[in-house]
């Protein structure tokens, strides 16, 4: 898949995920409390949405950074190294973020929070 296609696909996905995130997390009807977040993170659907959001943010950011850096002529000889580095950073960040989301256990948090 071409770089610009990945940028466009991830941008469309980010519009959807960011709108959902803003409406649910930052502008909910009424006051949001930590218990609301615990309840939402207990649902596998919301964990999946957060993981997909993370994937598209990383894809959009790393392809954008790669495109900007490869516009510099001095970087051109290192395109393959730069692409490999971006893939490794993206994969590590995705695995770390997904593990963090999946590791969230509402029962353990509820026992600690009064």
We report the CATH number of the domain holding residue 108 as 1.20.1300.10
Domains of the chain: total: 1
- Nearby residues of 102 by Cβ (< 8 Å), 6 or more positions away: 47, 51
pLDDT in tens, 3-47: 889 999 999 999 999 999 888 888 877 777 877 888 888 889 999
- Report the alpha-carbon distance of residue 3 to residue 82 in Å, rounded: 14
Domain, as residue range, for 74: 3-112
44 contacts 56 by C-beta, under 8 angstroms = no
Farthest-apart Cα atoms in the chain, separation: 58
Token pair listed for 5: 């296609």
- Report the alpha-carbon distance of residue 30 to residue 101 in Å, rounded: 25
59 to each of 78, 81, 85, how far by Cα in Å?
20, 17, 13
- Nearby residues of 49 by Cβ (< 8 Å), 6 or more positions away: 17, 20
Angle among Cα 78, 80, 84 to the nearest 5 degrees reads: 115
Share of the chain above pLDDT 70, in %: 93
Mean of the pLDDT values across residues 59-66? 93
Token pair listed for 67: 């495109």
């Amino acid at each position: 898949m071409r770089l610009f296609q990945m940028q466009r696909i991830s941008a469309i996905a980010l519009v959807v995920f960011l709108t959902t995130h803003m409406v649910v997390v930052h502008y909910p009807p009424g006051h949001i409390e930590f218990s609301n977040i615990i309840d939402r993170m207990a649902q596998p659907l919301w964990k999946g949405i957060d993981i997909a959001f993370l994937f598209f943010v990383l894809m959009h950011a790393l392809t954008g950074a790669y495109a900007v850096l490869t516009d510099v002529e001095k970087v051109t000889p290192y395109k393959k190294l730069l692409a490999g580095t971006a893939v490794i950073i993206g994969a590590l960040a995705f695995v770390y973020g997904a593990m963090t989301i999946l590791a969230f256990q509402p029962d353990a948090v509820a026992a600690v929070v009064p």
